[in-house]
Structure 1
Amino acid sequence: MRRLWYGLMGCMLFLSACTEEKPPSSSGTYSEGVFTINEGVFGQTSGTISYYNRTNGTVQQKIFKQVNGRDLGDVVQSMSFYEDRAYIVVNNSNKIEVADANTFEEKAQITGLRLPRYCLAISTNKAYVTEWGDDGLTGTIAILDLNTHTVINRIAVGVGPEQLLFKDAKLYITHVGGYGTNNIVTVLNTVTDQIETTISVFDKPSACVEDVDGFIWVACAGKVAYLTYPTIDTANSTASGLIRINPTNNAITKTISFGKGKPIGNLIINTANKEELYYSRTSQVWKYHIGTDVEESLFNGSFYGLGFDPVTNYIYAATSVGVNAAEAQRYDTNGMLIDAYTVGVFANGFVFK
């Protein structure tokens, strides 16, 4: 009997040791890496976030659904991180999903938005969201209380507010025009929540970045008219280009025109040196050297989104392939292709940690 008891104890200890030595699962941990925003198909709940692990080169699709067991919603427009939270803007679902930045476990929903586009948190309790309005032509900025996850105020601005840049307690807001056209950058004081001024630029300004000298660069696509799509009606189109703004006095200090019917998009900056702009134009990605005022073509392709990874100094480009799964291509700053991996449908941009 004693021999049997020792045998049973030995088996139990063995099983216990095996259980204790099992390595912990790392599933759901997203403390660093590359995140791709995939809009999905309009009218469906197919918007997703893809995750790329730089260390081992693995890719995970639909990470929010993996963790929470449900879809994000209809048209995942953008995502931003602030401290320990991820703010995922779901445009056609009129909401923001708030998730843990490292695990993507859902924490809250911010509802009651009106075709939201981009969200920018400026403190632990305050964020701003650009909205096109229910009709796509009623531009507003929603102010959020991040403690209660509610909209606490709205500011009427021009049609189609798009991306935001925060500098010196002010927001610089581009206005692409929603379902119409606009040509302004709104300057909003975040202390008073009052509009200080608007700056007239080329038609359809969509993005802005800050350079090494503190100047703000704005990419303007211009209005494109067509004879019979895809043939462009140059005479009735407007010029695209880059605009440089001095935030000290909000004066335009440089204008670069690319001509009519030649839209520019996907403006990003080399965040390592803040001296190089990257953007899409004429089925190519270009690099503009701010110091030397020289533009050079980097690589060819039709891309729906660009991003710059400050960890590897690689340019990420999302292919434009319609309702099929897109591809994220990685390039060095000289335009050499490094590799590529599969992401989601209508991948429009990247966020890096």
Structure 2
Amino acid sequence: MKKIVFFAIAVMFFASCSNDDNNQQEYVPAAFEKGILVTNEGPFNNGSGNITFISEDYSTVAQNIFRNVNGYALGNIVQSMGFLDNNAYIVVSNSQKIEIVNRYTFQSLDSITNGLDNPRYFVTVGGNKGYVSNWGDPNDYADDYLAVVDLRTNEITSTISVPFGPERMVVYNNKIYVAHQGAYGQNNLISVISGTTVESTIMVGDVPNSMVVSGNSLYVLCGG
């Protein structure tokens, strides 16, 4: 599965590429400022998840940019990627970690490896706080939670128990709306989180998998 994150910054862009199948590409600072980032999960259990960069004019495709810049693989199942300022937060689900990189150079800055259990998605609130949805054991409906991250230290400071199968999240008015798709099962809820408290739950259609805020409304797409 591939998930695509689009971003564009009004700055000068330069990228180098090579046709070398061994990925011996020479990267320059700020090589990934303007274009498309693709998260590639990779096959289960073989640790080959990676990130692809596609330039805005589609003339350059750079594979495995994290590994090529940092010299080691991302890990097993690259699930998603979130952003805050100059940082990208790459959620690597089966490896139980989040890799933090400069979003424009992909140089590694830090990683979060403690307190995560089958992490899925990442959002930020207010600039200093992050939330990570975690399935725990996908077959255990009672161990799902959100991990709360202090982004100044990149440490998990608390957890919030939530209904099973938390997936994508959106932030609106400093509250987090969490879609509960249901992990390997099926769920039909949206949780509303304020701080470290579940304020309420909203019943929707089965398998809510995507959300967007427009105006004062939250639109939820359900897979059924």
TM norm. shorter chain > 0.5: yes
In 1, the alpha carbon distance for the partners of 2:106 and 2:125 equals 21
Structure 1 match to 2:124:
121
1:160 paired with 2:162, answer: no
Give the C-alpha shift of residue 55 in structure 1: 3.8
Higher gyration radius (CA): 1
Deviation, structure 1 residue 54: 1.0
The partner residue of 1:172 within 163, 174, 177 is: 177
Number of the residue aligned with 1:107: 109
Asked if the contact 2:138/2:165 (under 8 Å) is kept, the reply is no
Q: What is the CA-CA distance between 1:178 and the residue it aligns to?
A: 0.9
Cα deviation, residue 123, structure 1 = 3.2
Deviation per CA, 1:167-214: give whole Å up to 9, x if none: 011111000011211110001113xx2111100111111111112x32
1:184 to 179, 185, 189: 189
Partner of 2:146: 141
- The answer for the alignment partner of 2:60 in structure 1 is 58
Structure 1 letter corresponding to 2:83: F
Residue identity opposite 2:161 in structure 1 = A
C-alpha RMSD of matched pairs (Å): 1.6
Match of 2:85 in 1: 83
Distance 2:121 2:37 in 1: 16
**Distance in 2, Cα, partners of 1:125 & 1:134:** 28
How far is 1:39 from its partner?
Answer: 0.3
Deviations along 1:137-157, one digit per CA (max 9) or x if unpaired, are 322000001122111100000
Structure 2 Cα separation of the partners of residues 56 and 174 of structure 1: 33
Distance 1:103 1:60, change over 3 A: same
3-state DSSP of counterpart to 2:52 = strand
Aligned residue for 1:200? 203
CA contact (8 A) 2:33 2:104 kept: yes
Bigger helix fraction: 1
Q: TM-score, normalised by structure 2?
A: 0.83
**What pairs up with 1:282-293 in 2 under 5 angstroms?**
none
Deviation at 1:97, TM superposition (A): 0.2
Structure 2 distance, partners of 1:189, 1:124, is 15
Question: How many angstroms does 1:26 deviate by?
Answer: 5.7
Map 1:1-353; keep pairs closer than 5 Å. 27-28=28-29, 29-55=31-57, 57-112=59-114, 113-136=116-139, 137=141, 138-190=143-195, 193-211=196-214, 213-222=215-224
How many matched pairs? 196
On the 8 A contact 2:126/2:174 being kept in 1, the answer is no
- Indicate the larger mover: 28-37 or 134-143: 134-143
Extract structure 1 runs of 4+ deviating beyond 6 A: none
- 8 Å contact from structure 2 (residues 27, 69) kept in 1: no
Of 29-38 and 92-101, more deviation after overlay is shown by 29-38
TM-score, scaled relative to structure 1 = 0.53
Distance apart, 1:56 and its partner CA: 5.9
- Report the secondary structure of 2:205's partner residue: coil
8 A Cα contact 1:163 1:174, kept in partner: yes
Asked whether the 8 Å contact 1:111–1:150 carries over to 2, the reply is: no
CA contact (8 A) 1:49 1:62 kept: yes
Amino acid at match of 1:180: G
SS of corresponding position for 2:95:
coil
- Whether contact under 8 Å (2:167, 2:179) holds in the other structure is yes
Corresponding residue SS for 2:121: strand
1:38 offset after TM fit, Å? Answer: 0.5
CA shift digits 1:31-83 (9 cap, x unpaired): 22100010001101110110011146210000000100110000000001110
What is the percent sequence identity of the aligned residues? 39
